[in-house]
Structure 1
Amino acid sequence: MKNNISRRNILQGLVVGVTVIGFDLVNNSWVTSANTGSIADIPQLDGELLIDEAVLTAFSDDFGHIINRQPKAVLKPGSVEDIIRIIKFAQAHNIKVAARGQAHSVYGQSQVESGVVIDTSTLNQIHSITSDRAEVDAGVLWRELLQATLQQGLTPPVFTDYIELSIGGTLSLGGIGGTSYRNGVQVDNVLSLEVVTGNGKLMTCSREQNRDLFAAVLAGLGQCAIIVKATIKLIPAFEKARVFQLFYDDLATFVNVQRLLVADERFSFLEGQVVPSGNGGWRYLLEVASFYNRETPPDNNTLLQDLNYIPGSEQIEDKSYFDFINRLAPLVEQLKSIGVWYFPHPWLDLFVPDSKVESFVGDVVSDLTVSDTGQGAVLLYPVKTKRFQLPLFRVPQEEIVFLFAILRTAVPPEDAVVERMVADNRRLFEENRNLGGDFYPIDAIPLTQKDWKQHFRPYWGKLVSAKRRYDSRNVLTPTPGIF
């Protein structure tokens, strides 16, 4: 993890560099000019395959700044055909490949040691928007899609809290947010995909066509195919959001109110946080929003009925729908300006069973300090598991589960601090798993193949079959260590 902070100057939009002409089969390295030895010519590309030291250094890092695995080349594809060509070449020469969107992973998930990283950000076209769907490249950002769909009064049903993420990236994981308790996660709102399999084949899949591939790709962590295009469900968009922040002193009241709101669905958006109380302890923040149009504003009294928050603690604000969905943008700019954005981020995201949430979270919070989080957010909010339709998005087997996320920042950004936080993540992961819980695999948690088998059960056998069928030589996305 040495010199992580110096790697934060990620090269954006690089279009020039050392261009590769072949692969040295003897020395297992890319070459830029003819030399002695057995040289395999790389396929003709519409984009570029780069081996500049600066590029490779940039692509060996991610938002977590914890794991560093340096590739031997970075593909900036000029077309989907480039991805097909490189994967076929990699398969023929036993080279590992991983796709990378905005590199917002925190534990090296999109990195590949001595392999090829495919930078999907160059595939960034919005192909069409109709009354109920949008067809977009994998490298399009969710913010860009939202800006385009709002021009037609439409919106995707679910957004992650931070929307400067690529569509292909979040669909490889799940994509959870404050409307998920009503609309599922982002993968539940995908109508079809175009993917390049690990065997180098371009395929279309959906619930009706190549269903097994569709199920293996969405929330599949890039194990069977690379998403290159997605058709996303759209719904009518509202103009405004009335945002409520309500505070609670005790965990039991807080989670009971959240259970009530999950049941009656009175709000469009539901999240919550564990926040410092100011006296060394913690209190609880309910974040809810009602989406509306100007001519039909919501009734505050009806929305706030029976919510049992601390009297006088409520904060109410009206925002445009876009500003609410993009609400983290000012905070991110502030964190970038003071450098904290570039510190290591040993995040932890767990799904805690409803039946265990008060005891588990209560125990964690009783020992948790601000230094344990580095002043990062601590999220706690419920979702309905019946909204989740894709088999690889794993959650506990209860009607309601709670996302409990400690979005740690290592302060100071030192190895010892990171190691302590990662070790604590592993401890809490095991404790939650022993209670029947699961995790959202964006985390900084050291995992074994046995852990992955347990995570994906009872779908593990089908995932193994899909891997053998669509990535028969195990080319794709090795870093998580699933296979």
Structure 2
Amino acid sequence: MESPNLFLLIIFTCYLFLQNAPFSAVALSLALPKTLLDKLKNDPLTISLASKDYGLMVQENPSGVFFPLTGHDVVGLIRFMYTSPVPLHIAARGQGHCVRGQALVENGLVVNMTSLGGFRQKTSRIVVSTTSPLGPYADVGAEQLWIDVLHATTQKGLSPVSWTDYLHITVGGTLSNAGISGQTFRFGPQINNVHELDVITGRGELLTCSPTNNPELFYSVLGGLGQFGIITRARIALAPTPTRVSLSFSL
């Protein structure tokens, strides 16, 4: 016998299809399995905070906000939505410093990447390696802020080869754009200084990609504005931290 929730979902799906309407918060609550539903919030305050970008230039109201604890939570969500009878747009959000609303979604689902385990904690997902043939690098969760990456790497006398001038933004966010700074003219943007990525595709596949492994996905995601997948980990190139700095002023 069909469960009451499944029966209600079928009826609701038929209604949405006939009305050509997107998923609502009610439909999400009926559709999602409990393991995912426990991480979904749709109270007015949460919706309001997720409906604006940092610069207050764009506003779109999502149906809900998903707070994953691990990358596998995001995989489960996207796999479920990929097979859903009603299309649902999903947008990944870090600190909301998007170019033109890419971290927002109207009547869809915002994935709050900063809820991933270790964000701004001592157990954060920043692991520095100094013994690789590639040279020193840091494996970094996409939810991490560049300021925290810099603090973790300088403890070992290293720093990212290229970073942004404003550091309180997420690794995944800048790599989805380009990562331009005053260092770009010498070392290239941040997307030119990445060895490897873990990416969740639109089908819910968690893939590792690099210039030699799934290169098409690798180069599509870097600077792809979140349209080709969600970055969950990046292997960032490091270099010895400068010991001196020179400042000049023109009057």
Report TM bin, short chain.
0.7 to 0.9
Separation in 2, partners of 1:202, 1:141: 22
> Which residues in structure 2 correspond to 1:201-280 (within 5 Å)?
201-246=205-250
Deviation at 1:154, TM superposition (A): 0.1
Helix, strand or coil: the match of 1:45? helix
Counterparts of 1:127 and 1:66, CA distance in 2: 32
Q: 1:171·1:186 contact (CA, 8 Å) conserved in 2?
A: yes
Write out per-residue CA displacement over residues 157-185 of structure 1, whole angstroms, 9 at most, x where no aligned residue. 11211110100000000101111111110
Show the counterpart of 2:160: 156
Q: Partner of 1:474 in structure 2?
A: none
- Residue 115 of structure 2 aligns with which residue? 122
Tell me, yes or no, if structure 1 residue 147 matches structure 2 residue 142: no
Query: 1:169-188 counterparts in 2 under 5 A?
Result: 169-188=173-192
Deviations 1:229-277 (A, max 9, x none): 101000000133121123xxxxxxxxxxxxxxxxxxxxxxxxxxxxxxx
* C-alpha distance in structure 1 between counterparts of 2:226 and 2:128, whole Å: 26
**Aligned in 2, Cα 1:33/1:210: closer, same or farther, shift over 3 Å?**
closer
Q: 2:172 is matched by which residue type in structure 1?
A: G
**Of residues 97, 100, 107 in structure 2, which corresponds to 1:107?**
100
Separation of aligned partners in 2, 1:41 and 1:108 = 26
What secondary structure, in the 3-state scheme, does the structure 2 residue paired with 1:241 have?
Answer: coil
Q: Does 1:52 align with 2:68?
A: no
Larger-Rg structure: 1
CA gap 1:208/1:43 in 2 versus in 1, 3 angstroms: farther
State how 1:365-384 maps to structure 2 within 5 Å: none
In structure 1, the residue matched to 2:24 is 29
Judge conservation of contact 1:76–1:119 (CA < 8 Å) in 2. Answer: yes
AA aligned to 1:58 is: L
Deviations for 1:169-209, whole angstroms, at most 9, x for unmatched residues?
A: 00000101111111110010000000100111000000010
State which of 57, 74, 89 in structure 1 corresponds to 2:80.
89
160 and 32 in structure 1: CA distance in 2 versus 1, 3 angstrom threshold: same
1:79 and 2:70 aligned: yes
Question: Which secondary structure state, in structure 1, belongs to the residue aligned with residue 247 of structure 2?
Answer: strand
CA change 1:47–1:219 in 2 (3 A) is: farther
What residue identity is the alignment partner of 1:129? V
Change (3 A) 1:33 1:86: closer
Distance 2:55 2:35 in 1: 34
Is the alpha carbon distance of 1:230 and 1:46 closer, same or farther for their aligned partners in structure 2, counting shifts above 3 Å?
farther
Gap regions ≥5 residues in structure 1: 1-21, 247-312, 314-483
Separation in 2, partners of 1:32, 1:113: 15
Q: What CA distance in whole angstroms lies between the structure 1 residues aligned with 2:215 and 2:196?
A: 10
Name the amino acid aligned to 2:247: V
TM-score (norm 1): 0.44
- Tell whether the 8 Å contact from 2:195 to 2:237 is kept in structure 1 after alignment: yes
Partners in 1 of 2:222 and 2:28 — Cα distance? 40
CA RMSD of aligned residues (A): 2.1
Match of 2:141? 137
Match of 1:64 in 2: 55
* Structure with the higher fraction of residues in strand conformation: 1
- SS class of match (2:31): strand
Contact 1:154 1:236 in 2 (8 A): yes
Aligned counterpart, 2:19:
none
Q: Distance in 2 between matches of 1:228 and 1:33?
A: 24
Q: Which amino acid aligns with 1:29?
A: S
Distance change >3 Å, CA 154–CA 47, structure 1 → 2: farther
Following superposition, the deviation at residue 46 of structure 1 comes to 9.3
Contact 1:63 1:106 (8 Å CA) reproduced: no
| C-alpha distance in 2 between matches for 1:126 and 1:235 | 19
**1-side partners of 2:34 and 2:70: how far apart?**
13
Unmatched 5+ residue regions in structure 2? 1-7, 17-22, 131-135
Name the SS for the 1:243 alignment partner.
coil
Q: What amino acid does structure 2 have at the position aligned with 1:113?
A: E
SS state of the match for residue 104, structure 1? Answer: coil
94-103 vs 45-54, which deviates more? 45-54
Provide TM-score, normalisation by structure 2. Answer: 0.83
- Are the aligned partners of 2:196 and 2:209 in contact in 1 as well (CA < 8 Å)? yes
Task: For 1:234 and 1:89, locate their aligned partners in 2 and report how far apart those are by CA, in whole Å.
Answer: 37
CA distance in 2, matches of 1:72, 1:184: 38
| SS of 2:182 mapped into structure 1 | coil
Deviations along 1:278-328, one digit per CA (max 9) or x if unpaired, are: xxxxxxxxxxxxxxxxxxxxxxxxxxxxxxxxxxx2xxxxxxxxxxxxxxx
- What is the deviation of 1:106? 4.8
Q: Partner letter of residue 237 of structure 1? A: T
Tell me which amino acid in the other structure corresponds to 1:183.
F
Confirm or deny: 8 A CA contact 1:138 1:227 kept in the other structure. Answer: yes
